[in-house]
Amino acid sequence: MTQENSHILSANLTHLDREGQAQMVDVSEKTPTVRQAVAAAQVRMLPETFAAIQAGNAPKGDVLGTARLAGIMAAKQTANLIPLCHPLPLQKVEVLLTPDAQLPGYQIQATVKTKAETGVEMEALTAVSVAALTLYDMAKALEKSIQIESIQLISKTGGKSGDYYQ
């Protein structure tokens, strides 16, 4: 890439510097506003695995409680996991694991809220991802073919780019 092309490209992409190298965006001039993001995932498993988790009969113990706590902890660690994410003061992290007999499996939803200069989409997505991975880890002795599916942003509010609803 020529220097001229990288300058044009970096002018449009805030995560690239003048040489086209990845950089953390400077948000110091932005006004802190209330921002919230909701993300979702689903975990599909065999009916027998689902029944065992629902009955509290998983070999590693409290599958859902551990997955919920892992999701909350993961949201708080997002800046340590995703290279260009800003560390944010999180005011709310809620992770819900809802049984879904039709899958069979669990619907996972995370809501993350802050008052900051940048949004919390990555924190919500990280929360559902790690909650799903933890659910897998806690239940893998019952089934290795558990599937983690449909990790996605459901909504985000606040900030310059406006609101988003799926």
What pLDDT score does 57 carry? Answer: 92
> Does 138 lie in the same domain as 87?
yes
Binding residues for substrate: 84-86, 122-123
26 is catalytic: no
- How many residues belong to the chain? 166
What pLDDT score does 162 carry? Answer: 86
Binding residues: 84-86, 122-123
Mean pLDDT of the chain: 90
> Does 127 lie in the same domain as 108?
yes
Q: Is position 105 within any domain? A: yes
> Does 109 lie in the same domain as 57?
yes
Is the CB of residue 63 less than 8 Å from the CB of residue 142?
A: no
> Does 35 lie in the same domain as 9?
no
> Does 9 lie in the same domain as 71?
no
The CATH number linked to 44 is: 3.30.70.640
What pLDDT score does 19 carry? Answer: 76
pTM: 0.87
Q: Which domain does 11 fall in, by range?
A: 1-26
State pLDDT tens for residues 1-49: 444 444 444 445 566 667 777 777 777 777 889 999 999 999 999 999 9
> Does 21 lie in the same domain as 51?
no
> Does 43 lie in the same domain as 9?
no
Q: Is position 164 within any domain? A: no
Domain total of the chain:
2
> Does 117 lie in the same domain as 68?
yes
Of these residues, 17, 26, 100, 137, which one is catalytic? Answer: 137
Helices 47-55 and 121-139: angle between axes, nearest 10 degrees:
100
Please state the rounded mean pLDDT for residues 153-163: 91
